[in-house]
Amino acid sequence: MSTLKDKQAESKKVWLLVTIASLGYFVDIYDLIIFSIVRIQSFTDIGVPVAEMRVKGEFVLNMQMGGLLLGGVIWGIIGDKFGRLKVLFGSILLYSLANIANGFVYDVMQYGIIRFIAGIGLAGELGAGITLVSESMHKSKRGYGTMLVASIGVMGAILAYFVSEEFNWRTAYFVGGGMGLLLLLLRVGSFESGLFQEQDKKDVPKGDFRMLFTDKSRLKRYVNCLCIGLPIWFVVGVLVTQAPEIGKALGASETLSAGKGVMFAYIGISLGDVLAGVFAQVLKSRKKVVFICQLIIVASSLWYLLSTGINAHKFLILAFIMGLGVGYWATFVTISAEQFGTNLRATVATTAPNFVRGALIPSTMLYGLLVNSFGIVPAAITMVLLLSGIAIYSLTQLEESFDKDLNYLEE
């Protein structure tokens, strides 16, 4: 009887951990995209001229991206050296305070510096959460846990949209920061990963980022993990975000709304994360699920980019379907975590999603060159086929990790 009670208590602790990680990613996504949603309103309020909004917006967004890239490395190392919980507490405290500070800015330079700090904080949430959940659940069930983390998390984008519609931009930042601080209190009862505690007693390098580059096989694994996520942010960051420009090139009957497109894409991503997790459990394969998602991305993107005379209704439907395709985000991070030993797992799981976000920069640079040479629609088609092609090839180079035992080290 006591054994049964112990198991039930342990199960409750694990699902509490999943809930806390899910809510953390919910707040993380809210804070991650809130600038993109309130950019025009906030810039107008602080006196940025209309002619400078695009350039100033790119500056602030790039500052946030720089913070994400740096933060991915910092939190990954902390997670492997000092524990996953340290990251969950430290990252949410940093980005919550930064978002509250964002509500008080009065010039673009302040805005950019605070978004850089927020970016550092935002970089740690998903990787640490996925790592902790993966290491705490049974190997045959952990896909359900990581699925819930991501599917609940991306709903934060929808809340961000509605908060920005109902309140002014400063309040939107205060709401994000306030949610983070409240969640911080909920995390007081969290527990550390048993696998981390076990390996922490051993004399092995922990969180040594250089280890990813000193072994050819390890480097190949890491690069392939990054590459399977390449199409995700291009679909959201370019195909959906640039809907007004793409719609104009397609001869759309009306101006397509990027804001509504992003919201519908995130609804699709949330559902896609659930379906990807369920199908991975049914098929007992994460690789098959990612391959199916790549096919959905290619098919839905081509449908969108070849829809001459597209209207707003059709665009929103396609944004949702494209969101379903890129809804393997949690599966991508889970695969990355499962490919590496406990002493490097948090480093990989934290840097991988942030480096993939950062990969949008060279992707958009190449896309820009193609637009200048061939036009916006042929350029977008080329990029989708190229990025999905790279992702599918990299997927074939990784081992199946569905029920892999994670109790091992990188030496």
How would residue 306 be classed by pLDDT, with cut points 50, 70 and 90? Answer: very high
State pTM to two decimals: 0.81
Tell me: the pLDDT tens digits for 160-170?
888 988 889 99
Q: How many CB atoms lie within 10 A of CB 12?
A: 10
Match 């820009």 to its residue by tokens. Answer: 368
Residue 2 has pLDDT above 60, yes or no: no
Is residue 211 within 8 Å of residue 77, measured between CB atoms? no
> What mean pLDDT do residues 116-141 have?
81
Question: Of the candidates 13, 371, 319, 50, which has an alpha carbon nearest to the alpha carbon of residue 190?
Answer: 13
> What mean pLDDT do residues 242-261 have?
86
Query: How far apart are the C-alpha atoms of 346 and 72, rounded to whole Å?
Result: 10
Task: Say what the pLDDT of residue 1 is.
Answer: 45
Task: Say what the pLDDT of residue 162 is.
Answer: 86
> What mean pLDDT do residues 367-373 have?
87
How would residue 293 be classed by pLDDT, with cut points 50, 70 and 90? Answer: very high
Residue 51 has pLDDT above 90, yes or no: no
Question: Which residue did the predictor score with more confidence, 198 or 115?
Answer: 115
Question: Of the candidates 80, 85, 43, 83, which has an alpha carbon nearest to the alpha carbon of residue 61?
Answer: 43
Is residue 89 within 8 Å of residue 187, measured between CB atoms? yes
- Angle at which helices 360-374 and 53-82 pack, to 10 degrees? 150
Q: Give the best-scoring range by mean pLDDT among 28-32, 94-98, 233-237, 262-266.
A: 94-98
Query: How far apart are the C-alpha atoms of 303 and 319, rounded to whole Å?
Result: 11
How high does pLDDT run on average in the chain?
84
| Token reading at 360 | 């949008």
Query: How far apart are the C-alpha atoms of 147 and 254, rounded to whole Å?
Result: 36
Residue 6 has pLDDT above 60, yes or no: no
Kindly tell me the burial class for residue 154, based on how many C-beta atoms sit within 10 Å of its own C-beta (0-12, 13-18, 19 or more): buried
Residue 73 has pLDDT above 50, yes or no: yes
Where would I find the H helices in 83-229? 84-102, 108-122, 125-136, 142-153, 155-166, 169-186, 194-200, 211-214, 216-227
Task: Say what the pLDDT of residue 52 is.
Answer: 81
All structural domains of the chain = 10-183 (1.20.1250.20), 208-411 (1.20.1250.20)
